[in-house]
């Protein structure tokens, strides 16, 4: 990481040098050291946690060969009668039993196939009379038999290190006999809001006050099994107080997220407070709208993310930068953001220069099946209502001066794992 002094930060403001989102994400990720401490967690509770190291299969799946249907295990082929010599249901053991070429066993789904089984015929495709079963067609060899190991072989990697556990991993690992898994310890994140005007709901408001919206919003965005959030409350616009709070938070957190005070106003103290707390600011102006003023840096071992105060800008910047930081800290294999191609259903003239994110909803689809997007409400980084009505964020590139119906757009759909 290239550390920058506060004076140099001021110079870069004068330069009006803006970074692209990609540069900011790369720089944010570069600030993180992956957590190496681990925990053993029982499987259902591991959902949302990130696996540490690969998990290897101890035996094959299926563990034994068995029937895929209710029917008859046949010892040979052909549309001829097979003498029924036994009955097997799920949970039975074949106990070394073997069927001959002219024999069959009545068998249920999941029951082990006796050795000598050439195929299983579904009961719907067979007739039974005089203690013998006759298939109604030539049953191909191997039909309806699930072979041992056809899904997983012993020593296969079941789940790679860096995987975020979900119901699929719980299923595969439980089938493979695992009760507990090794995961990266929770990421410790401290959240605070700055601003003299902010009050917590329930505390009451005076003239000039507003309710602190960002802290509860960020806590909701951070609500994950893999994150432990510390709420540091609202801090007044007081550089010494902010610096002291940041310094203390840096001792036992992996990440500090603040909102407000990262612009260039007289009461915007965050960047200088980070430096006062012994930290450094790396990158703090992105060529995006909303959310241009953003501070990235480190205080001790903690990554620092300073988000803008306007709630929509705060929300967008957290999605763009906060998520990759969290994934990097817990060693999660990076997932490409689920960006979709889309088309505009609206007209819009804009000033080029910055990439722009705007809440929008899907109002239809094109002939090729791409989503058609309409902007929700009027844009503005302080507005929240358009977010509520939106299905996701539409994006146009920095050079875009005009959007017409049918123009290509990118679209970040809101997903459940965004806390949305
Ligand atoms: P700032 O980034 O501190 O200059 O704040 C920009 C705007 O966002 C101002 O109108 C603030 O009052 C507002 N704002 C700052 N922090 C919050 C917050 N936590 N919740 C709601 N609005 C905020
Ligand atoms: Mg402020």
Q: Mutate which of 194, 203, 208, 210 to test ligand 1's pocket (most atoms within 8 Å of Cβ)?
A: 210
Query: 229 and 316, same structural domain?
Result: yes
Same domain, 357 and 397: yes
Closest atom, ligand 1, to C-alpha of 234: 19
Ligand 1 pocket, residue 386 CB under 6 Å = no
- CA 123–ligand 1 middle distance (angstroms): 69
Of 300, 329, 358, which residue is a domain's last? 329
| 291 in contact with ligand 1, CB cutoff 6 A | no
Ligand 1 centroid from CA 195, angstroms: 7
Claim to verify: residue 220 and residue 84 sit in the same structural domain: no
Per-residue pLDDT tens listing for the chain (420 residues): 444 443 443 344 434 568 888 888 999 999 999 999 999 999 999 999 999 999 999 999 999 999 999 999 999 999 999 999 999 999 999 876 899 999 999 999 999 999 999 999 999 999 999 999 999 999 999 999 999 999 999 999 999 999 999 999 999 999 999 999 999 999 999 999 999 999 999 988 899 999 999 999 999 999 999 999 999 999 999 999 999 999 999 999 999 999 999 988 888 999 999 999 999 998 677 888 888 889 999 999 999 999 999 999 999 999 999 999 999 999 998 665 678 999 999 999 999 989 999 999 999 999 999 999 999 987 666 788 899 889 999 999 989 999 999 999 999 998 765 544
Q: In 3D, which of 245, 218, 231 has the Cα closest to residue 299?
A: 245
State if residue 261 touches ligand 1 by the CB under 6 angstroms criterion: yes
Q: Which residues of 290-307 are buried (b: 16+ CB within 10 A; e: fewer)?
A: bbbbbbbbbbbebbbbbb
Ligand 1 atom, smallest distance to 215 CA: 19
Q: Do both 43 and 129 map to the same domain?
A: no
Residue 286 confidence (pLDDT) = 83
* Domain contains 102: yes
Whether 210 maps to a domain, the answer reads yes
Q: Is the domain of 316 the same as that of 374?
A: no
Q: Are residues 15 and 122 in the same domain?
A: no
Q: What is the CATH number of the domain that holds 284?
A: 3.40.980.10
Residue 78 lies in a domain: yes
Residue 305 is assigned to a structural domain of this protein: yes
Q: Whose CA is nearest to atom 14 of ligand 1?
A: 309
The rounded Å distance from CA 312 to ligand 2 centre is: 15
Q: Compute, in degrees rounded to 10, the torsion defined by CA atoms 373, 379, 384, 389.
A: -20
Tell me, yes or no, whether 200 and 323 share the same domain: yes
Whether ligand 1 lies within 6 angstroms of the CB of 113 is answered as no
3-state secondary structure 377-406: CCCCCCCCHHHHHCCEEEEECCCCCEECCC
Computed from CA positions of residues 297, 300, 303, 308, in that sequence, does the dihedral angle turn out positive or negative? negative
Give me 78's structure tokens.
């052909």
Ligand 1 site, residue 92, Cβ cutoff 6 A: no
Do 283 and 202 belong to one domain?
yes
pLDDT at 94: 82
Whether residue 279 is contained in a domain is answered as yes
322 CA to centre of ligand 2 in angstroms: 20
- Classify residue 418: in a domain, yes or no: no
What pLDDT is attached to residue 13? 40
Query: Residues 276, 359: one domain?
Result: no
Are residues 223 and 310 part of one domain?
yes
Same domain, 129 and 173: no
Return the CATH number at 170.
3.90.105.10
Alpha-carbon gap, residue 60 to 153, rounded angstroms: 4
The number of the ligand 1 atom at minimal distance from the alpha carbon of 308 is 2
The Cα 154–Cα 405 span in angstroms is 55
19 in contact with ligand 1, CB cutoff 6 A:
no
Give residue 307's pLDDT: 96
pTM recorded for the entire structure = 0.89
**Residue 416 confidence (pLDDT):** 61
Evaluate whether residue 265 is within a structural domain. yes
User: How far is ligand 2, taken at its centre, from the CA of residue 335, in Å?
Assistant: 33
CA–centroid distance, residue 195 to ligand 2 (Å):
4
CATH number of the domain at 78, please: 2.170.190.11
Task: Give residue 374's pLDDT.
Answer: 96
Nearest to 316 by CA among 393, 256, 257, 386: 393
Residues spanned by the domain of 165: 38-60+151-184
Q: Is residue 419 in a domain?
A: no
Mutation choice for ligand 1 from 212, 216, 259, 384, CB with most ligand atoms inside 8 A: 259
CB atoms within 10 A of CB 24: 25
- In angstroms, what is the span from residue 155 Cα to ligand 2's centroid? 56
Residue 37 CA, chain-centre distance (Å), reads 21
Å from CA of 272 to ligand 2 middle: 14
At which of 135, 169, 184 does a domain end? 184
Domain boundary, last residue among 265, 299, 329: 329
Residues 212 and 324 grouped into a single domain = yes
**CATH at 358:** 2.40.340.10
Taking the CB of residue 365, how many other CB atoms lie within 10 A of it? 12
Q: How many domains does the chain have?
A: 4
The finding on whether 267 has its CB within 6 A of some atom of ligand 1 is no
- Of the ligands numbered here, which is closest to the C-alpha atom of 310? 1
């Amino acid at each position: 990481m290239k550390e920058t002094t506060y004076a140099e930060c001021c110079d870069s403001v004068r330069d009006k040098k803006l970074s692209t989102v990609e540069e900011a994400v790369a720089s944010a990720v570069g600030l993180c050291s992956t957590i190496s401490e681990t925990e053993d967690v029982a499987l259902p509770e591991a959902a949302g946690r990130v696996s540490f190291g690969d998990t290897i299969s101890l035996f094959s799946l299926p563990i034994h060969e068995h029937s895929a249907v209710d029917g008859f295990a046949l010892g040979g082929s052909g549309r001829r009668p097979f003498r029924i010599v036994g009955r097997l249901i799920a949970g039975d053991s074949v106990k070394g039993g073997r069927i001959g070429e002219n024999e069959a066993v009545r068998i249920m789904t999941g029951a082990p196939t006796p050795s000598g089984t050439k195929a299983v015929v579904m009961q719907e495709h067979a007739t039974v009379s005089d203690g013998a079963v006759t298939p109604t067609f030539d049953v191909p060899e191997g039909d309806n038999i699930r072979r041992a190991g056809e899904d997983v072989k012993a020593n296969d990697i079941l789940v790679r290190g860096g995987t975020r556990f979900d119901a699929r991993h719980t299923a595969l690992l439980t089938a493979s006999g695992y009760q507990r898994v090794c995961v990266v310890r929770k990421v410790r994140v401290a959240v605070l809001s700055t601003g003299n005007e902010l009050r917590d709901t329930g505390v009451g408001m005076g003239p000039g006050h507003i309710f602190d919206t960002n802290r509860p919003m960020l806590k909701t965005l951070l609500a994950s099994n893999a994150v432990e959030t510390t709420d540091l409350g609202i801090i007044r616009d007081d550089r010494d107080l902010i610096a002291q709070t940041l310094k203390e938070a840096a001792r036992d957190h992996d990440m500090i997220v603040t909102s407000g005070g990262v612009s260039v106003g007289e009461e915007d103290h965050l960047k200088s407070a980070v430096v006062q707390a012994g930290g450094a600011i790396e990158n703090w102006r992105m060529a995006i709208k909303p959310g241009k003023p953003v501070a990235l840096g480190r205080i001790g071992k903690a990554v620092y993310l300073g988000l803008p105060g306007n709630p929509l800008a705060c929300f967008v910047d957290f999605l763009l930068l906060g998520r990759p930081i969290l994934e990097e800290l817990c060693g999660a294999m990076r997932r490409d953001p689920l960006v979709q191609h889309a088309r505009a259903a609206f007209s819009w003239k804009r000033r080029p220069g910055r990439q722009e994110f705007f809440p929008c909803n899907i109002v239809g689809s094109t002939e090729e099946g791409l989503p058609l997007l309409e902007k929700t409400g009027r844009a503005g980084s302080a507005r929240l209502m358009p977010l509520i009505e939106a299905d996701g964020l539409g994006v146009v590139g920095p050079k875009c001066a005009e959007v017409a119906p049918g123009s290509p757009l990118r679209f970040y759909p809101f997903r459940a794992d965004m806390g949305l």
